[in-house]
Amino acid sequence: MSQVTFQVNAQVNAQPEDEWQAHLDAARGQTVYFHAWGGSAEANRYLRWAAGELREHYDIRLRHVRVADISEAVTRLLAESRSDASASAVDLLWVNGKNFHALKEADVLLGDLSTQVPNSHLLDSQLPYTVDFGIPTDDYELPWGMGQFYLMYNRESAPELEPDGYLSPAALLDFAQGNPGTLSYPLPPDFHGTTFLKQLLIALSDNDPRLAEPYQVATGEALLTQLFAYLDQLHPLLWRDGRAFVGSAAEQQRLFADGRLLMAMSFNPGELVSAKARGSLAQSSEAVSLGPQAITNSHYLAIPRHASAPSAALVTMNFFLSPKAQQRKADPEYWGDPAVLKAEHLQTAPELRFESASEPHVSWNEVIEAAWRERYE
């Protein structure tokens, strides 16, 4: 592929060239405080590379503010909005799902991003990025990558899979019964833990269409009853008898690598390939979908309306959507997070492994987490 430049013709995306140049000029010397999940070594390493590129080519200092959960940044932004702060401590954030919904509801995000970020015209319009957990994005966030939920297991102690190659909830329960104390999942509301519960619900209910709609007690309780009847059978068979749970997907993967757990989970389609290449997971490790369809979504970048360095945040977002940055991010050697650009702007990139299922409507997150805490804590 020919050498990719960092800047594109801004006029392609309906922004006058002089306006984009004004952002480039204003961004020089600014610092962008990028609030993003810090629990992935691959993502952290990628952001260190991006910081070097932004410093060299744009004189922008990228500061990765590592958070255990992006809800920490959301709480801060909502507090700032209530105090009428004139400038936010957050310039850019990695967000999706219920956290985006909360920020959109509070009207604290910069809008019309596609007209302000030139590289947005490179996005693959075939990807379902205009809806986030059932909520229209309305140009308040732009996709940065793709995620798909899956489980990891070792061929040497493998569960029984369906003929189509997926793991059914019934087979997972059988595997837990045959290997007590060797399975777990992250404690909700950890993102991966809640996603595991939603994935189970999709698989148990054959992706009931009610999951795509806002939760209604009259129709939703039956689905929750199905989920918790299954968990009541599973929990006594889990690690520490289901009385304690791992704190994160990263901790679960470490225990899996050590052989103390027989399964782990991920939302990064390239993570298993990367881990095997680094030697942190055995070459016999495999990926499998829990149910015939795997929850698949986009994750996004957003800018607060009152960001302290708005021009630098826009230039940084534009860089993250450049072919060079997207290609490096998609390479399993560096991160393995799938690109969101049209194929003609990329070299090879990891593909999604499994048939996709949409995220349930955002309202299901809170309902599932609250019901889980009431039942098991």
pLDDT of residue 15: 66
- Return the amino acid letter for 73: A
Residues of the chain with pLDDT under 50: 1-13
Distances (CA, A) of 22 to 262, 303, 317: 54, 18, 16
Q: Note the pLDDT tens digit of each residue in 108-139.
A: 999 999 999 999 999 998 888 999 999 999 99
Q: What is the CATH number of domain 10-146+298-351?
A: 3.40.190.10
d(CA 336, CA 330): 4
Partner residues linked to 304 by β-bridges:
109
CA 95 to chain centre: 8
Fold that domain 148-295+357-376 belongs to in CATH: D-Maltodextrin-Binding Protein; domain 2 (3.40.190)
Residue 232 contacts by C-beta under 8 Å, 6 or more apart in sequence? none
Q: How far apart are CA 155 and CA 153, in angstroms?
A: 7
Delimiting residues of CATH 3.40.190.10 domain(s) in the chain: 10-146+298-351, 148-295+357-376
- Residue 14 is predicted with a pLDDT of 52
Q: Which of 320, 330, 335 is nearest to 350 (CA)?
A: 330
The pTM is what?
0.84
Q: What is the pLDDT of residue 12?
A: 42
User: Residue 128's pLDDT is what?
Assistant: 84
The answer to whether 137 touches 129, Cβ cutoff 8 Å, is yes
**CA dihedral defined by 203, 207, 210, 216, rounded to 10 degrees?**
10
> In angstroms, rounded to a whole number, what is the distance separating the alpha carbons of residues 293 and 10?
39
